[in-house]
Each structure stands twice: as structure tokens, then as C-alpha cells.
Amino acid sequence: MKRDIRLSEKFLISGYAFILLFMLVQDLVPLGTLNDIKAIASVQSFNETIIVTMIGVVQIVVLMGGVLFFIGKRYPVLIKAWLIIHPSCILLGAIKSWWIPYFFGIGAEEKIERYNLIFGNTHAFLPVMNGIVPNTLHTIFHLILLSCIILTFYIFLTDKMTKKFSFQSSSSLDEDQKPNS
């Protein structure tokens, strides 16, 4: 079966590739003011950092594998559900850890000291609210993850329309190519 890979699927894979890169480097590779490797090392061991990194990497690799296996083809219902639910759970975790404390102050008191220690010397373009601020690297990660979820919805919602349109187009082409009798 020929794969009909859509631009939206290419964008989805690109988004997940960026997230994979983020997962690999965020706590291990110095990125100037985007992260603070020394601060991370002061609160968790290298082995803990590797384990946390691998958990994130494996999740994204499995998501990418699911997309790549079915890219350009019809996605089964269970795969569709999983490709929506899994990244949505990751995003909900980010919202709970970063954005609810930031905007509403809920749980911020417990996070202020640790966040300021780990992320206090990293670049942030948002103002400090409730004692914390999401840094630039995490903000970009969260926005790309949200974009991937939206793209996944788009791919699944337009899948039947795209298949129907291409089938109708090829059917009408076949009718035009038939000899007149």
C-alpha cells in the first residue's frame, strides 16, 4: 500500500523530533542560559538524571514510532486514542507542575525554592508570578507538545475527508479516462 504522507504528519514528526532533542539535552548538555546543568546536579545525582531523561526519551520514541509506523496510512482507533491520550497526559503534568502554580499560585509555595534553585539562572521571557516563572526552554517544549496534540487531532479529524476526496478525485479521473461507447 502506497503511503500518502500529509504535510501535517511531517510537522507532527518534526515536533516530536524537537521534543526528543529537548528530552535528551535539557538536563545533560549545557545550553547557555537556557538551562543550568550545575543546579540540576546539585539536587539530583547523575544516575537520577539519566533515569529521568530515559523515561522521557522512551515515551517520545514510542510516540514517534506509533506515528512513523502508520504515517501516510489509516491509523487504527486504538492508536488514534493512544496518540491523543499519551501526549495529553504529559501536557497535563506540565500544566500541573508549571502553569497552575504560575498563574494561580496553587502549589507554588512548595515549588518556589526548588524552581528558583534549578531554573533561577535560566532565561525566561515571562514575568515572575507567584514566585516562579516558566523558563524559555520549558515554555517552548510545552507549546510544541500542545501543537503536536492539536496536529494529531487535525490529522485524525481530516483523515476520512482526505481519503474520501482522493478517492472521489481518482474515481472521477477513471470515469474521464474510459473510452466512450
The number of beta carbons lying within 10 Å of the beta carbon of residue 38 is 9
Q: What angle do CA 140, 69, 24 make, to 5 degrees?
A: 35
User: Residue 101 CA to chain centroid, in angstroms?
Assistant: 21
176 or 91: whose pLDDT is higher? 91
Helix axis angle for 46-70 and 77-94, nearest 10°, is 150
Is the Cα torsion angle 69, 70, 73, 76 positive or negative in sign?
positive
Q: Which amino acid is present at 181?
A: S
CA–CA separation, 54 vs 98, rounded Å?
21
Where do we find the cell 498563574? 103
List the one residue out of 122, 140, 124, 98 whose CA is nearest residue 40: 122
What is residue 129's three-state secondary structure?
A: strand
Specify the range with the lowest mean pLDDT, choosing from 118-122, 145-149, 165-169: 165-169
- pLDDT of residue 179 exceeding 70: no
DSSP character at residue 6: -
- CA end-to-end span of the chain: 33
CA–CA separation, 23 vs 157, rounded Å?
29
Quick one: pLDDT at residue 164?
Answer: 53
Quick one: pLDDT at residue 68?
Answer: 95
Q: Above pLDDT 90, what percent of the chain?
A: 84
Q: Which three cell numbers stand for residue 62?
A: 514510542
What is residue 118's three-state secondary structure?
A: helix
pLDDT tens per residue, range 50-74: 999 999 999 999 999 999 999 999 8
pLDDT tens per residue, range 27-45: 999 999 999 999 999 999 9
- pLDDT of residue 172 exceeding 50: no
CA–CA separation, 12 vs 158, rounded Å?
14
Banded pLDDT at 159 (limits 50, 70, 90): confident
Banded pLDDT at 170 (limits 50, 70, 90): very low
Banded pLDDT at 79 (limits 50, 70, 90): very high
